[in-house]
Structure 1
């Protein structure tokens, strides 16, 4: 199975290094020296990582055969793809590869069906499950522990405990200020009528 593990950014310096946008939780495993990666577009690869280092919080890579800034710039926006065994699991038992989560059924704790995961979006602050509902509509579920309470790969399901309004159109709003406004209006109306 092939997984996108990075996107090549701009050239760094004049000796063929490039910045990369890392798209894997295990860069030390997937993007280490000696790794041979397929590319998208395929004609640009395969690329072999010669060196890697972190500079100012960014991962810099140099590929075999790329020795100058011109060669590095030619690689910009190319996706790096690693071959991964579909049975391989992340080292941390609380982490999952995207392919493990795709097509899982999404249910509430009581078993109510919400839909199935059709896409996973990686945002800087959190990941989102894009869930297709039985009626064909989609809902976005933040992949955070407070909402996604269980991932059961054996049963092929994700159990969620969504806050009000996340998966339905009718949010349950309980606000003491709203209650006070209603009570206050009723009191004013009664007072005006007594005069």
Structure 2
């Protein structure tokens, strides 16, 4: 399974959910007619999204299987995934591209070889994408995911090199 989003809570009284997508385009999740939901990444529940709307960086989703807020509120924090077999095949080295979900957990180092942290997530701002980096001390830092900053993404060694100082 490839995780493509997370449920952040219910929306309204008719069982809709608010979703943070991990896709390149905010509505990319809607390309898949069937989703798998899990709160532990071990057991998965199949659901069918029937409609959506975009609100800032979130999706408001109606699922066929949920019709009231009480049931939908139990999905808070659950992951949304699809089988990797449903996604376009990419090379293992990342030269053809990579899925955002594959970047989660990758080490981030600067051009001086200093460890900055690990990728905790990504999000789209409209102007550019942003890496959420978990720093060793537990804090989080945001780094623009643009060519001027991200020098190399090496999927084989699971490392991203950035032109970024430790004290930015």
If each structure's strand is expressed as a fraction of its own residues, which one has the higher value? 2
RMSD, aligned CA: 4.3
Return the TM-score normalized by structure 2.
0.60
The question of whether the paired residues in 2 share the 8 Å contact of 1:36 and 1:49 is answered with yes
Q: Equivalent residues in 2 for 1:85-164 (5 A)?
A: 88-89=89-90, 96-100=99-103, 102-104=105-107, 106=109, 108=111, 112-115=112-115, 118-122=118-122, 126-130=130-134, 142-145=143-146, 146-153=148-155, 157-162=159-164
Q: Secondary structure at 1:34's aligned position in 2?
A: coil
| Aligned match of 1:50 | 49
Q: Using CA pairs under 8 Å that are at least 6 residues apart, name the structure with larger relative contact order, 1 or 2.
A: 2
Residue ranges of structure 2 left out of the alignment (5+ in a row): none
Equivalent residues, number:
157
CA distance in 2, matches of 1:33, 1:69: 23
Task: Show CA shifts across 1:32-83 (max 9, x none).
Answer: 4621313115799513123122155552222233233333334334332333
Larger Rg: 1
Q: Which residue number in structure 1 is paired with residue 16 of structure 2?
A: 17
